[in-house]
Chain A
Amino acid sequence: MTPDLSVSIGGLALRGPVLAASGTFGYGTEVPLLERGALGGMVSKGIFLRPRAGTPPPRIAETPSGMLNAIGLQGPGVEALVRDYAPQWARWDFPVLVNINGESAVEYGELAARLDGVPGVAGFEINISCPNVEQGGLYFGNDPRAAAAVTEAVRKRTRLPVWVKLTPMVSDIGIIARAVESAGADALCAVNTFVGMSIDLAAFQPRLSFRTGGLSGPAIRPLAVHLAHQAARAVRIPVIGIGGIARAEDALEFLVAGCSAVQVGTATFVNPRAIAEVHDGIAAFLRARGIASLGDLPRYLPRD
Chain B
Amino acid sequence: MFLVDAAIAGRREVARGMFVLSMAAPEIAASVRSGQFVNLGWSGGPLLRRPFSVYRVDRDRIEVVLKAVGVGTTALLAMKDGDRLSCLGPLGHGFNLRAGPRHVVLVSGGLGVAPMPLAAREAAGLGMRITWVHGARSADELCSESEGDAIVWTTDDGSRGVKGSAVAAAPDADLVLACGPNPMLAAVAARWPDALVAVETYMGCGTGVCLGCAVPRAGGGYDRACKEGPVYRAADVDWTALPSHLAYAANA
Quick one: given A26-B208, A30-B208, A202-B245, are A56 and B48 in contact (CB under 8 Å)? no
B183 interfacial by beta-carbon distance below 8 Å: no
Stretch from A61-69, A82-90, A113-121, A171-179 that touches the partner: A61-69
Range for the number of chain B residues in contact with chain A: 20 to 34
Which A residues lie within 8 Å of B47 (CB)? 62, 65-67, 217-218, 266, 270
Give the distance in Å from the alpha carbon of A209 to the alpha carbon of B245 in the complex: 11
Quick check: is A60 within 8 A (CB to CB) of the other chain? Answer: yes
Query: In the complex, are the beta carbons of A58 and B209 less than 8 A apart?
Result: no
B214-230 vs A: 1/0 string, CB under 8 Å?
11100011100000000
> Which interface class (under 10, 10 to 19, 20 to 34, 35 or more) fits A?
35 or more
Write the chain A residue with the least CB distance to B45.
Answer: A270
Given contacts A31-B207, A31-B209, A54-B222, contact A203 B48 (CB under 8 A): no
- Nearest residue, chain A, Cβ from B217: A53
Q: For residue A75, which residue of chain B has the nearest CB? A: B211
Instruction: Decide yes or no whether A252 CB sits under 8 A from chain B.
Output: no
In the assembled complex, the Cα of A66 lies from the Cα of B48 at a distance in Å of: 8
| Nearest A residue to B206, CB-CB | A269
Contact check: which of B48, B212, B241 meets A71 at CB < 8 Å?
B212
CA of A268 to CA of B210, assembled, Å: 9
- Report the minimum CB–CB distance from A281 to chain B (whole Å): 17
Chain A nearest Cβ from B228, distance in angstroms: 13
**Nearest A-chain residue to B251, judged by Cβ:** A202
> Per-residue CB proximity of B185-218 to A under 8 Å, as 1/0?
0000000000000000111110111111111100
Can you report 25 residue pairs joining A to B where beta carbons are below 8 Å apart?
A24-B205, A26-B208, A32-B1, A33-B1, A54-B222, A57-B242, A58-B202, A60-B202, A60-B203, A60-B210, A60-B212, A60-B213, A62-B48, A65-B47, A67-B47, A71-B210, A74-B214, A200-B245, A202-B250, A205-B245, A209-B243, A268-B205, A269-B209, A270-B41, A271-B41
Chain A residues with a Cβ under 8 A of chain B: 23-26, 30-33, 45, 53-62, 65-67, 69, 71, 74, 200, 202-203, 205, 209, 217-218, 266, 268-273
